[in-house]
Amino acid sequence: MTADVPPTTAMPATTVIDQAMADALTLLAALAGDAIKGVAPDRLGLRRKADHSPVCAADEAAQRLIIAALAERLPGVPVISEEQTNRDTPPADGTFLLVDPLDGTKEFIAGRGEFTVNLAILHKRYPVAGFIAVPAFDLVYRGIIGKGAERITIDRRGDAPAIGTRTVIQTRKAPADGLVAAMSRSHQDPATAALLAQWPVKDRIVIGSALKFCRLAEGEIDVYPRLGRVREWDLAAGHAIVAAAGGLVTRPDGAPLTYGHAETDYAVDGFLAWGDPARGDPQAARARP
């Protein structure tokens, strides 16, 4: 299946992402979504990993496709993926990729469309670009820092998926009558709930997976807080897309988020994602319990 991914050049040292590379990675994310949907329900083989999170044959099918394609299209660029047994070591001052081949395994198993494929490019520990496929809706969201963010439909009329309609997306200014907040379907925690109770929130929307970042980037919600532990591959692609769309993603205290921290097993102790960066100042962030 990797032959269906358009060829592109190896990652340049300057991490300039041209249109060909962006489209290739967009279609790779879409193809990984196809691999997920291609696993029959009676062949999922659901089991629990050491950290008690679920994994199934669909995670592994997407993982195989993505890792093989990245080795061919971006040779020499380290890849850190959730389902890898032995992960590459990310360079502190170089380029690497963070991948979650199936984010929202619980949603996928439950038959909900709120699962995604997450792929992020990082340089010097900061997001450069993010790609989030939403296989159930034939959509890919992508953002390149400094170039903006898009929602892309996948064209199914040919023998292989192709780039369809491109729509520029942007975050919105926080409305005066109250915020719309996104909450995790599977990872709600008391600290996040208490934080939201302190803010002028008029509506709370429960969504699974990294789809919450996509809704934030296209201006449907205003804030997505999470004060619990999260892994970098769950966060990096969404961070890039939200930032490219005009938003802001920080640690809960307002400090910058960096990635590639093998010493913490790629764990982040919470984050705040804002559509309106004016609302994401450190003073507001410190309003947590």
- pLDDT of amino acid 158: 92
At residue 13, the pLDDT reads 38
Q: Could you tell me if 239 and 114 lie in one domain?
A: no
Q: Of 119, 135, 169, which closes a domain?
A: 169
Contacts 24+ apart (CB under 8 A), 152-161: 152/26, 154/30, 160/4, 161/4, 161/27, 161/30, 161/31, 161/34
Give the CATH number for residue 192: 3.40.190.80
Domain for residue 222, yes or no? yes
The distance between the two most distant Cα atoms of the chain, rounded to a whole number of Å, is 53
Rounded to whole angstroms, the Cα distance separating 111 from 47 reads 17
Looking at the fold, whether 130 and 211 belong to one and the same domain comes out as no
* Domain-ending residue, one of 169, 192, 213: 169
In terms of domains, do 163 and 191 share one? no
CATH code (residue 144): 3.30.540.10
**Sole residue written with tokens 């170039």:** 147
Query: Are residues 145 and 8 part of one domain?
Result: yes
As for how many domains the chain has, the answer is: 2
Residues 6+ apart with CB under 8 A from 264: none
Give 53's DSSP letter. Answer: -
Q: Which domain holds residue 36?
A: 2-169
Per-residue pLDDT of the chain (289 residues; tens, 9 = 90+): 333 443 333 444 345 689 999 999 999 999 999 999 999 888 888 888 777 688 899 999 999 999 999 999 999 999 999 888 677 778 888 999 999 999 998 899 888 999 999 999 999 999 999 999 999 999 999 999 999 999 999 999 999 999 999 999 999 999 999 999 999 877 778 889 899 999 999 999 999 899 999 999 999 999 999 998 999 999 999 999 999 999 999 999 999 999 999 999 999 999 999 999 998 755 444 443 2
Residue 206 and residue 151 share a domain = no
| 204 and 274 in a common domain | yes
Reading the block at residue 130, the tokens are: 């993010």
Radius of gyration of the chain (CA): 18
The answer to whether the CB of 103 falls within 8 A of the CB of 256 is: no
Q: Which residue shows structure tokens 């340089």?
A: 123
Reported pTM:
0.90
- 174 within a domain of the structure (yes/no): no
**Co-location of 132 and 185 in the same domain:** no
Together in a domain, 188 and 151:
no
The answer to whether residues 56 and 143 belong to one domain is: yes
The answer to the question of residue 50 being in a domain is yes
Tell me whether residue 230 is in a domain: yes
Same domain? 223 vs 122: no
d(CA 31, CA 165): 17
For residue 205, the one-letter residue type is I
Rounded distance, CA 150 to CA 89, Å?
A: 30
The domain boundary, picked from 134, 169, 204, lies at 169
128 and 21 within one domain: yes
List the structure tokens of 212.
């919450």
Shared-domain flag, residues 158 and 192: no
